[in-house]
Chain A
Amino acid sequence: MTTASAHDPTTVPGATAVTGSTAPAARPRLRLATAWLAGCSGCHMSFLDLDELLFVLAERVELVYSPVASDIKTYPEAVDICLVEGAVANTANLELALQLRARTALVISFGDCAVTANVPALRNLLNRDGRGGAEAVLQRSYVDLADGSGRHPHAPGLVPELLDQVWPLHAVIPVDLYLPGCPPSAERIAATLLPLLDGQRPIQAGPAMLRFG
């Protein structure tokens, strides 16, 4: 099992080939995780659109953390591949991003929100001349646009605080692979994951793999 210590984007986890003349032994199952930051969960829905390929995946990977397929709340150690959906918008997103980077060999920005910050980052337009930030967003959403009774929500420790600005994933942690799309189609997800299962780096070229939106 690969360990998650060194971060080297040129290597692919699980690429250590079986050596010797023995019959091809079963490759150790890759430890796969999926994480959900500031996004609409559409990328995860697209992941579920893998349909029958999910059976293949289930045989070849161990899904160790995922909001759609597991109830585990703590991001585990020694993860091989993580698909990260969503931008980094609040303190919980940031914490999970840092944690999964430290514990994952290959981090994939999964979908336009992770790759470009996309729709969640529209609130960055409320930032003016370095002022504004989270306060301006709360003011606009909960007071200015309220029907007169609006006030700032205040529940410290209960709801994660907003960051002053929404960031794409690679702005806060090193990212090894980008999987754009809003959402990336199931075909695009398959074309990315299947080579990785065989220790190959997917070819990220052409409209079928790269087109935003």
Chain B
Amino acid sequence: MAVVTLRIDGQEVAVPAGSSLLAASRVAGLALPVLCHLDGLTPVGACRLCLVAIEGQGKLQTACTSEALEGQVVATNTAELQKLRRMAVELLFAEGNHVCAYCVASGACELQAMAVTVGMDHSRFPYQYPLRAVDASHPLFSLDANRCILCSRCVRVCAEFEGAHVWAIAGRGRHCHLVAGLDQPWGEVDACTSCGQCVEACPTGALFHKDDSTAEKHPHPARALQLRRLQDLPPRPDR
């Protein structure tokens, strides 16, 4: 197996060639903040929280989508990066309608926890109060778009594991929003198998079990990785 060695925050690490900088940073014992990344899903670099500075490159790169290369010198926690990360989280709060006080995911929400991680005690950006809908047409689950941060974990878990391709992100810029099927009510999408993996993968309270009330969502985001491991097993001879 080919190995590349690089330096992350002053620490020498060796990882298999083809690893991402995020994986390499974990080998170095660092925990880069992530919201859109979920182990087991294809990385997309949507949330911008895992930005790192690679020496010799003018632009900051998302560690989840960048390949670790031989001889790279990478900084993951400079003052500038800390500033940008806090700003990104403040913008996420200002962009949607996030009210932790009565949210189904409070206590288990990755956005709420990320605000603590980046030291956000308030948002310096004006709240936008976008008009977003709640889709409660599915018999088991609901989508509250007010709480959606467009991380696309649901889109990916549905496409990559269930193969159902129920979710997609439509629109451009601040009009981006999650759509089910052909922009239909979720409950009318035949392709949905009601497997609930999107709910487990959702980092916020945007997708939730109908039975759950305030602070009652307890998602299982590690399921995607477990499924990936099952998929990667060699085929059983009896099949």
Which residues in A have some Cβ–Cβ distance to B below 8 Å? 109, 112, 115-119, 121-122, 124-125, 127-128, 168, 170-171, 175, 178, 180, 182, 204-207, 210-213
Q: Is there contact, CB below 8 Å, between A125 and B129?
A: yes
Q: Is there contact, CB below 8 Å, between A109 and B122?
A: yes
Q: Is there contact, CB below 8 Å, between A168 and B122?
A: yes
Residue picked from B93, B107, B113, B131, most chain A C-beta under 10 Å? B131
Distance to closest chain A CB from B119 (angstroms): 6
Distance to closest chain A CB from B72 (angstroms): 31
* Cβ–Cβ < 8 Å partners of B93 in chain A: 116
B106 within 8 A of A: yes
* Closest chain B residue, CB of each to CB of A183: B101
In the complex, 18 of the A-B residue pairs with CB atoms within 8 angstroms, ordered by the A residue number, are: A112-B101, A115-B122, A116-B93, A116-B122, A119-B102, A121-B129, A122-B99, A125-B97, A178-B121, A178-B122, A180-B122, A182-B101, A204-B119, A204-B121, A206-B116, A207-B116, A211-B115, A212-B112
| 8 Å CB interface, B90-130 against A | 93, 97, 99-103, 106-107, 112-113, 115-116, 119-123, 126-127, 129
Given contacts A207-B116, A211-B112, A211-B116, contact A182 B127 (CB under 8 A): no
3 closest Cβ pairs, A-B complex? A213-B100, A178-B121, A182-B101
Distance to closest chain A CB from B217 (angstroms): 13
A121 to B123, CA, bound (A): 14
A112 to B102, CA, bound (A): 12
Q: Is there contact, CB below 8 Å, between A124 and B127?
A: yes
A133 to B138, CA, bound (A): 33
* Secondary structure call for the B interface: loop
A72 to B103, CA, bound (A): 37
Distance to closest chain A CB from B146 (angstroms): 9
Distance to closest chain B CB from A127 (angstroms): 7
Given contacts A112-B100, A121-B129, contact A210 B115 (CB under 8 A): yes
A211 to B111, CA, bound (A): 10
* Cβ–Cβ < 8 Å partners of A121 in chain B: 127, 129
Q: Is there contact, CB below 8 Å, between A119 and B99?
A: yes
* Cβ–Cβ < 8 Å partners of B102 in chain A: 119
Distance to closest chain B CB from A153 (angstroms): 24
Q: Is there contact, CB below 8 Å, between B129 and A124?
A: yes
A125 to B119, CA, bound (A): 28
A183 to B158, CA, bound (A): 37
Q: Is there contact, CB below 8 Å, between A119 and B129?
A: no
Distance to closest chain A CB from B151 (angstroms): 19
Partner among B103, B119, B123 whose Cβ is within 8 Å of the Cβ of A116:
B123
* Closest chain A residue, CB of each to CB of B118: A210
* Cβ–Cβ < 8 Å partners of B215 in chain A: 213
A48 to B215, CA, bound (A): 25
Q: Quick one: CB contact mask for B143-185 with A, threshold 8 Å, 1 for yes?
A: 0000000000000000000000000000000000000000000
A206 to B117, CA, bound (A): 7
Distance to closest chain A CB from B204 (angstroms): 12
Q: Is there contact, CB below 8 Å, between B100 and A210?
A: no
